[in-house]
Each structure stands twice: as structure tokens, then as C-alpha cells.
Structure 1
Amino acid sequence: MGAEPGPPAATGRRGELDVLRALVVVGLVFFHAALVFSPDDDFYVKNDETTGAVTVLAGFGVVWAMPMLFLVAGLGARHSIRRRGPGGFARERLLRLGVPLVFGTLVLCPLPQWLRLRAADPADDTSYGAFWPRFLSVRPDPADFPFVLDGEHFETGHLWFVVLLLTFSLLLAPVAGRLAAGAARVVPALRRRPVLLLLPALPLAAVNALLGMEEGFAGWNRWAYLLFLLCGFALADDGHVRAATRRAAVPAGLLGLVLFAGTAPGFIAGNDPFTAWTPAAVLTRALFGAAGWCWVLALLGLLDRPRKRSAGPAGKAVAPADGDGPR
């Protein structure tokens, strides 16, 4: 994976990441529908007959899908902070994420819990109106940060992604300038040695191995998602980094495949690979974390097809217009 010369910057909107993000979101609909037939997941409702094939197929998605969403969010955050500043970015995140989060928690999240209650006890005739106040009966739980509210029935449910994304965005804002400056200093090394792009696999492996994987967060530890977001922010849209990523894509994908295959014995054996402290379980979690980064890196490189700059009226190259969202 030798160095590849590339343009110093790439400011155009990366449409392939918009499409990939949309596909992941649509895929989540089918993923959650499939959980009805999975024997392993504590889903709201279950089919009478389940199959382990659902768990196997889901594994190929969870290793990269949600990490990719957080990394793309980091890419977008870099450009948003550049335009709005840290304070403006924080306000924008509170409006675009905080308001829908409150609405969804109050209006959408109680319904699945009510259905779970009714499915567990068909004789329970509690009306939805009577259940709603019980759902909102909460107590502080700071130890589970950022999910700082807990209750017998309360949960953020499928909105956990929004909770984490909002929290990570607010944590990022005050340190964004220093992180961007530090990232700029490592770009020359990445140009010379694209293999260095594999290094984030090490802290991701460590987080999963030492803190445990969390089934409720698509099989990843919540803090691993913060690392994906920070990587997206740090490496956002530098032309030299994108060139290095394209060179590293195929080797990273192959390495990710080998690492993911290495998790199979640990997951098949059972023995709680998500949280157990046996050597096999710890190794399984570490391999999963490293495989996730390799596949995300591979997708970024394989999907990146830089557009040629078009000639402007004076015959000079004109870059595509800047835009919101993933780059």
C-alpha cells in the first residue's frame, strides 16, 4: 500500500455516502423486522418459531452498518463546525437531534413497551392511556451515561442512536479545533504510509474487548461509536487521506474478512462472548472491533470515485459546490 499523490483538498459532496447512509437506514427496517424471528435477541415480540440464521445474517451487517453511520456523522460535523463554529454547531445539533429525541421519547417509545407488556401477559388489559404515565415514571441513573434516566418501563428504544449522536456532538464541539489541528499534522504520514489508516482498529478492539459489547447497541460498546465519529471528523475530506483510503481499501477489506471469520468460533461457542472474561470471549470482542474498522475503511475507499473538476468560464478548474451532510 504505497503512497498515492492526490489533491490537497476535496470539497465536493460525497453522494455515495448519502446513498450508503440511506441504504443503512432502510436496512434497519428489515433488520428490526427480522429480530422477530431471532432466538437470541430480547425483542418486543417474538414469532413462535425462530431461527439462528437471522443472527448469522445480522452479524454481517452490525459489524459495519452503525459504525458507518457514526463515521459519516463525524465527516459532516467537521464541515458543519467549519461553517457555523462550535457554538453554532452545538445549537444546530440540539435543534435537529434534541427536539426530535424528546418528541420520539414521549410519543413513539411508549408503544413498543406497551406491546411487550401485553405480549408477556395476554390477560393484562392495561390501556395505552393508563400505561403512558407508568412509562414516564423515571429515576436518575448517571452510571449509565448518556442514558441517564431509568424506569421500570422507560427506555429510549430505537432512539439510542440519536441519544449517542447528540451526546457525542456536544462532547466534540469544545475540542473540535484542537482535534482538527492534530489531524492535519498526521496527514503527511498517511500520505507516505496508507497502512497507518489501519491503526484505529487497535483502540476499537481494545474498547470492545475491555468494556464489553452491548447487545442493545447493535453489538458494539457505546464508546466505540464515539471513536468512529472522531475518526470521521479527524479524517474528513482531506484529498490526500481520501487517496490513501482508496489505496488501502482492498487490503483492509480482506483483513476485515479474516478478522471477522476469526470471531466465528467465539460466537458459535456461546459462553457469553459479549461480556465474559474468558480468553476466547475477550479475543472474540477484540477481533470484532478490529474487523469493523477494516470494513468501514474498505467501504470508504471502494465507494470513493472522485469526480473530475470541470472547467470554468476562464478555463480554470472549478470544484463541486460545498454542501451539508457527508463528504
Structure 2
Amino acid sequence: MEKNTVLTRHFDMDWIKVLATLLVFLYHCSMFFNSFDWHIKNNFIDHTYIEFFSLLVGNWIMPIFFVLSGMATYYALNKRNSKSFIKERLLRLGLPLLLGIFLLSPPQVYIERLTNQQFKGSFLEFFPHYFDGLYLEMGGTGNFAFFGHHLWYLLMLLLFSVTALPFFIKTREIAARKEFNVLHYLFIPIPLFIVALTVNNVVNLASWGIIFYLLLYALGFYFFARESMRKFVHKIGVVAGALSILSTASYITWVFFYGFPMEVSFAWTVFMMIRVLLVWNMIFFILYLGDKYLNVSNRALKYSSEASMPFYVLHQPVIIIIGFFIYNLEWPVPVKLTFLISAAFIIILGLYELIIRRVNILRVLFGLKAKYLGARPIAPNSTGMNIRCK
């Protein structure tokens, strides 16, 4: 049993999750400098290489998380029952979300209100006002971030996991029944196009709507978790990569020269279709690269894979707090960018390595499993030989 688990484990999924988490970190560092709305902005906005990077990854970084989550749900339901799955989701997603809502979000809202001249006073004076109204948008009047700011992903994933579970249980055999082929590749994106063109503004989070993310989560479960998909990505991977580059170039060029289409029109329709094509093909390209080059395990993967959830939970508040102390300094943008990335990375990793991973209650609060402290107990087996309890 254990041998089979090792042989069938897809380490590339862990690598992709780790690298995607790192990209989210860099993306949020870039948000401090670019022209898009964010909680705190540098005193000088960069419209060149930093904005280019933001556009480069902003379209597909969260969609890849939801596809990976759908795949992980499929594998999890092959190993545990519904009750165990829900319990695991509540602990691994719910506790970090609550931590984010009540501990990590208040300083982010405070800094936003302070720098936008919406509040004057200390953090202790602001904290009671954190519960005044719901935080619904940047620059708004409500303060209570019920979704944990950047942890909205955990809230959405928790809701998707619970609401879609009965349907997944009844229909999960479909996910492994048929071979994935080029017709799937061509026609499955049609619902994504329809959703993007009709209801993308329904709870829009990080440029895509909640229905779009739900579809990607379901596609991850029903299609991308198939073993036949791994064979197919090798056939289509290079083509998907070329289409990803082409659609990304078209998207970035459009935004730099014409801006974002704000009203529904023919141009807006073409723009949204380019974005969906970008996301769809980037998913295949990333899975292709992952399966080809990253399906290996080592100590770095084991460490970073466990650290990825605490790193994700901590990264944005740390970036914003550091940004608050440097946003008005007259440093050149490259110096500020280097300092922000380096300082935030060191602080986050230091908090994880020195405190979080070593304290069981913190491990649980940050979505990790508690570790047994001390030597494992010795128990006799039926033959009388001593074995270590696992």
C-alpha cells in the first residue's frame, strides 16, 4: 500500500503549488508599485517592467490554484470518506482563514485607511472600528474583512469543497472513465467563455468571477486529475505553450496601448476571449512543464511544500506592513523593490522556521498537521517484537 502510494504520487503538483505561491508573493510585491488599485501604493508608480510582470502573471495565477485544488480533491476522496474530507477542509482551510480575518487583516485595513487619509490615530484606536461595516472594496467605508483579504482563496475553496462534495461523490467515477482527447481540449473551454462573457462580475476576485473559479475547480476534479490527461499534455504541451505566449503578448500589448475595455462591446468580447484562451492554454503548458521536469522529490520540495501554506497566509500582511514604512521614502524603485522582496521573504521564512513549524498550536492555526513531540512510543506487535507506532 505504502509502496503504491509513493509510486503514484505526483510530485510535480507539489512543485507547481510551491512555485505558484512564490509567484503570488512576487505579484503582491509588484502591486505595491504598479498602477492598479491596492491597499497601499509607493510614492512613485512604475508603468514599465513592474507593471509588465503584474500583467504577465495576473490572469492565470489564481486559476492554476483552483485547478490544482480540484485535482487534490479528487485524490483526497480516493483516500478518505466524506466526513473525514470535510473535517480536514475545515481544519486546513477554516482555521487559517479565521486567523487571517481576526489577526492578520486588521493591520492591513488600518494601513489602507491611514495612507488614504480615511483614519487618524494609532492601531489600538482603530481596532474597535475594524468591525464597522463589511469591507467590500479598496477605498470603501466598511472595515471588517470577512474574507481575510488575500485569503479569499481559502474561503472560496472551503465553500466549493463543501457545496460540490455531494455531486463529486455521486459522479467521481466519470473522472476516470474516458480518455482525455483533443475534442475535450477544444470544447471544454466553451463554458469558461460563456461564464467570462456573462457573469464574470458576480463576486469578482483577482479579475475573475466566483463562477469562473468554480468551473476551474470542477474541471480540475473531472478532467485534469485523470491519468490520461498526463499523456495528453505531452502531446499538446508545446502547442499550448505557443498559444499561451501568443495570447499573453496580445493581452499585454492591448492593455499597454489601449487600456482595459470598461464597457461591453465587440472589443471587450474579443479581449475577454483572449484572456480565457490565455488561462486555458497556460494551465496545459504549466502541467506539461511540471510533468516533464518537476516530477521528482527532494528535501527542498518536502520543506517548501509544507511551508507554502504558512507562507501564503503571512505574505500579504508582511508586504503591506513593510510597504507602510518605506512608501514615502525617496529611494529609487529598483532599490525599494529589492528591499521589499528581500525583507518580506526573510521575515516570512524566519517566522515559519523559527516559530510556526516548531509550535503545534501555530502549526494547526496555519493549516499544518500537528507534530508529535518527543520520541514515538514503542508498542509490541503480535509476534512480541517491538515496533514504533506510526
Same fold (TM over 0.5): yes
- Picking from 117, 134, 143, the partner of 1:153 is 143
Partner of 2:256: 268
Instruction: Deviation per CA, 1:38-81: give whole Å up to 9, x if none.
Output: 11x22122112112222322122123221111111111111111
Listed as ranges, the gaps of 5+ residues in structure 2 are: 296-304, 307-390
Aligned letter for 1:134? H
Q: Is the Cα contact below 8 Å between 1:201 and 1:291 reproduced in 2?
A: no
- Picking from 126, 132, 137, the partner of 1:137 is 132
Partner of 1:256: 244
Instruction: Deviation per CA, 1:137-178: give whole Å up to 9, x if none.
Output: 346x9xx9xx9xx97112231111111111111122111123
Partner of 1:173: 165
Partner of 1:316: none
CA displacement at 1:276 relative to structure 2: 2.1
> Judging changes above 3 Å, is the alpha-carbon distance between structure 1 residues 239 and 182 closer, same or farther for their aligned structure 2 residues?
closer
Q: Is the Cα contact below 8 Å between 1:263 and 1:285 reproduced in 2?
A: no
Partner of 1:100: 96
Task: State how far apart, in whole Å, the 2-side matches of 1:264 and 1:103 are.
Answer: 36
Q: Is the Cα contact below 8 Å between 1:266 and 1:281 reproduced in 2?
A: no
Partner of 1:210: 198
List, as ranges, runs of 4+ consecutive aligned residues in structure 1 with deviation greater than 4 Å: 213-216, 269-272
Partner of 2:43: 48
User: Is structure 2 residue 176 aligned with structure 1 residue 184?
Assistant: yes
Number of aligned residues: 288
User: Is structure 2 residue 14 aligned with structure 1 residue 18?
Assistant: yes
Instruction: Deviation per CA, 1:195-241: give whole Å up to 9, x if none.
Output: 52243322222222222369973322222111221111112543322
With normalisation by structure 1, the TM-score equals: 0.78
> Judging changes above 3 Å, is the alpha-carbon distance between structure 1 residues 215 and 75 closer, same or farther for their aligned structure 2 residues?
same
RMSD over aligned CA atoms reads 3.1
Partner of 1:278: 265
Summarize the alignment of residues 287-326 of structure 1 with structure 2, pairs less than 5 Å apart. 287-305=274-292
Partner of 1:76: 72
Q: Give % identity.
A: 23
Aligned letter for 1:152? G
Partner of 1:239: 227
Which has the higher relative contact order, 1 or 2, with Cα contacts under 8 A spaced 6 or more apart? 1
With normalisation by structure 2, the TM-score equals: 0.66
- Picking from 179, 182, 192, the partner of 1:194 is 182
Summarize the alignment of residues 86-125 of structure 1 with structure 2, pairs less than 5 Å apart. 86-121=82-117, 124-125=119-120
Task: State how far apart, in whole Å, the 2-side matches of 1:251 and 1:10 are.
Answer: 31
Task: State how far apart, in whole Å, the 2-side matches of 1:235 and 1:133 are.
Answer: 47
CA displacement at 1:307 relative to structure 2: 11
SS at match of 2:15: helix
Q: Is the Cα contact below 8 Å between 2:71 and 2:220 reproduced in 1?
A: yes
Aligned letter for 1:158? H
Question: Mean alpha-carbon deviation: is it higher for 254-263 or for 94-103?
Answer: 254-263
Task: State how far apart, in whole Å, the 2-side matches of 1:306 and 1:102 are.
Answer: 36
SS at match of 2:172: helix
Partner of 1:163: 155
> Judging changes above 3 Å, is the alpha-carbon distance between structure 1 residues 210 and 267 closer, same or farther for their aligned structure 2 residues?
farther
SS at match of 2:55: helix
Q: Is the Cα contact below 8 Å between 2:34 and 2:47 reproduced in 1?
A: yes
